[in-house]
């Protein structure tokens, strides 16, 4: 009976994966936004060898050429697929790899949460849902990395399974260097497993690690020979350089930890709710929360891309710092609660301990350089494994969580459509009016920057700004739904205050 229930639950999980993939494929024609064009154009470079495509890519991307090259190779195998949409198709296929990884990892820890429910929580998370449908070098490498991780932890250790694990991990590193930061997790699980034979394990892990780095090493050598740099273009080496300043590192660590807890809301509040058993415990938690918020309010000011998007215009930076510090405390509570709840089950406790240390190590290493929310795609799915199953399985609560995520995702998708549509329409108007050579793309650079001349040194008479500016020459707007509205205007550069000029 238990086996039949298990099989049915797994089938439901795969059905949810299929539905997710179908929905995203149905939306593949949404306008390009957030530098998606750079990956599509770089893929075209490998087809027609136009240096402008490559120059544009390196001017806006610190990512590898992995996604564009993989898109080009797929196009060669399946010519019917347009190069422009293959990066999106790759991201969408990431749901399949991530689904397989979550099912396998959930089995390893004893199915604390039903697979279908776990899949719904993870896939409908706004960060995962959004990047999963966009043609960038973020979601697909993260999904490949977690899939590879689940194969490395296969109990039977079949040679074929390990070979696939090595290949997928190698590919993930080539697509996104951040994948390598999860390699210590594979080592950690191997050397801390019960009844481990250290000499045998160390030899096996050393050989597998060497095999993992073969393809990335060949890629790095080819890039160095072709383009003259290691890892990232010179223009981005200063942006992403390592900083050892304690305040910088601590601020970033708190921001990453806090953002993980924020992304898990309201599920991240479950451990907090569980510990509020008496007025005294509630008072202690309230006091701790107050101290953390005040500490963050006075000491933490997030760097890089660790922000709240449009809400930043209305939030005091000190309030943001306080919120991150408060949520960082919640992050450690989530991990600690998951470990305490599993201490009676040695295998589950072992896996969760390895995951905890790796998540902390992952965001710890990232804290030494410029932070970004999208890097959390590598560890955010793992955080859901720590959610208290007894509370997450409550039907009403789970339904409310899923429903709220669906609403947010619909709103985000409509906003993305409005952004891309308005940017596309305004770009066409600029072309129709013959102003493309003397207009700075400004705020639409990430959405339609490839339509403008690559030579940015020539004088520009006009610039694109957000909103229906009073000094506008013309504008474009899109409002696909109530409360969803995006407007861009072309204005003379001379009409802007000096700080707004480029």
Domain presence at residue 61: yes
What is the mean predicted confidence (pLDDT) over 269-273? 80
Q: What is the pTM (predicted TM-score) of this model?
A: 0.90
Based on the domain organization, do 314 and 232 belong to the same domain?
Answer: no
270 and 291 share one domain? yes
Mean pLDDT rounded to a whole number for the chain: 87
Residue 329 maps to a domain: yes
- Give the pLDDT band of residue 6 (cuts 50, 70, 90): low
Whether 429 and 370 map to the same domain: the answer is: no
**Co-location of 264 and 157 in the same domain:** no
- Domain identity same for 126 and 262: no
pLDDT tens per residue, range 279-315: 887 888 888 888 988 888 888 777 777 776 656 666 7
Element holding 487 (H helix, E strand): strand 484-492
Report the length, in residues, of the chain: 502
Token pair 């530098």 is found at: 35
Same domain? 185 vs 271: no
User: What is the distance between the alpha carbons of residues 43 and 84, in angstroms, rounded to a whole number?
Assistant: 8
Q: Which of 178, 202, 236 is the last residue of a domain?
A: 236
- Answer yes or no: is 494 within a domain: yes
- pLDDT for residue 108: 83
410: in domain: no
- Exposed, middle or buried by CB within 10 Å (0-12, 13-18, 19+), for 112? buried
353 and 471 inside one domain: no
Same domain, 100 and 141: yes
CA distance 17 to 112: 19
Report how many domains make up the chain: 3
User: Given pLDDT bands bounded at 50, 70 and 90, which one contains residue 408?
Assistant: very high
Share of the chain above pLDDT 70, in %: 92
In a domain, 402, yes or no: no
The pLDDT tens digits of the residues spanning 316-361 come to: 778 888 888 999 999 999 999 888 888 878 888 888 898 999 899 9
Whether residue 8 is predicted with pLDDT greater than 50 in this model: the reply is yes
Identify whether 409 is part of a domain. no
pLDDT in tens, 41-62: 999 999 888 888 888 888 888 8
**Does one domain contain both 296 and 427?**
no
Residue 461 pLDDT exceeds 80: yes
- Please check whether residue 351 is in contact with residue 278, taking contact to mean a CB–CB distance below 8 angstroms: no
Give yes or no: residues 229 and 252 share one domain: no
Structural domain for 274, as ranges: 246-392
**224: number of Cβ within 10 Å:** 12
Q: Flag whether 399 is in a domain.
A: no
């Amino acid at each position: 009976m238990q086996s039949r229930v298990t099989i049915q639950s797994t089938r439901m999980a795969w059905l949810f994966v299929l539905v997710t993939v179908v929905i995203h494929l149905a939306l593949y024609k949404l306008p390009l936004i957030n530098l998606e064009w750079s990956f599509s154009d770089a893929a075209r470079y490998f087809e027609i060898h136009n240096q402008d495509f490559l120059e544009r890519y390196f001017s806006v991307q610190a990512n590898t050429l992995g996604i564009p090259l993989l898109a080009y190779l797929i196009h060669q195998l399946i010519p019917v697929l347009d190069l422009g949409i293959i990066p999106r198709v790759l991201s969408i296929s990431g749901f399949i790899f991530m689904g397989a990884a979550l099912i396998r990892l959930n089995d390893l820890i004893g199915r604390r949460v039903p697979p279908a429910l776990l899949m719904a929580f993870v896939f409908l998370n706004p960060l995962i849902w959004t990047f999963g449908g966009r043609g960038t070098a973020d979601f697909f490498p993260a999904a490949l990395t977690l899939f590879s991780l689940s194969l490395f932890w296969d109990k039977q250790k079949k040679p074929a399974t390990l070979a696939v694990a090595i290949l997928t991990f190698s590919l993930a590193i080539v697509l996104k260097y951040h994948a390598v930061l999860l390699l210590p997790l594979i080592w950690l699980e191997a050397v801390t497993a019960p009844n481990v034979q250290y000499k045998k394990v160390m030899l096996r892990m050393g050989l597998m690690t060497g095999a993992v780095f073969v393809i990335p090493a060949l890629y790095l050598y080819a890039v160095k020979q072709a383009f003259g740099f290691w890892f990232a273009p010179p223009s981005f080496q200063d942006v992403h350089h390592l900083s050892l300043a304690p305040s910088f590192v601590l601020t970033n660590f708190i921001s990453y930890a806090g953002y993980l807890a924020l992304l898990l809301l309201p599920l991240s509040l479950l451990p907090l709710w569980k510990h509020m058993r008496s007025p005294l415990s509630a008072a202690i938690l309230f006091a701790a929360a107050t101290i953390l918020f005040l500490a963050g309010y006075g000491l933490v000011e997030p760097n890089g891309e660790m922000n709240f998007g449009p809400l930043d215009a209305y939030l005091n930076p000190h309030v943001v710092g306080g919120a991150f510090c408060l949520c960082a405390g919640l992050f450690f509570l989530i991990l600690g609660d998951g470990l305490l709840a599993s201490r009676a089950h040695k295998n589950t406790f072992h896996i969760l301990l390895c995951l905890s240390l790796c998540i902390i190590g992952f965001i710890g290493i990232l804290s030494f350089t410029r932070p970004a929310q999208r890097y959390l795609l590598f560890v955010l799915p793992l955080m859901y494994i720590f959610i208290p199953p007894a509370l997450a399985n409550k039907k009403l609560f789970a339904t409310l969580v899923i429903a709220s995520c669906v609403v947010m995702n619909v709103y985000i998708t409509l906003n993305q459509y409005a952004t891309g549509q308005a940017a596309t329409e305004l770009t066409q108007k600029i072309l129709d009016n013959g102003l493309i050579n003397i207009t700075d793309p400004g705020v639409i650079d990430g959405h339609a920057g490839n339509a403008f001349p690559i030579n940015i040194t020539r004088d520009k008479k006009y610039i694109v700004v957000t909103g229906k500016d009073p000094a506008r020459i013309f504008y474009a707007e899109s409002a696909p739904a109530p409360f969803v509205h995006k407007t861009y205007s072309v204005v003379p550069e001379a009409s802007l205050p000096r700080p707004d000029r480029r």
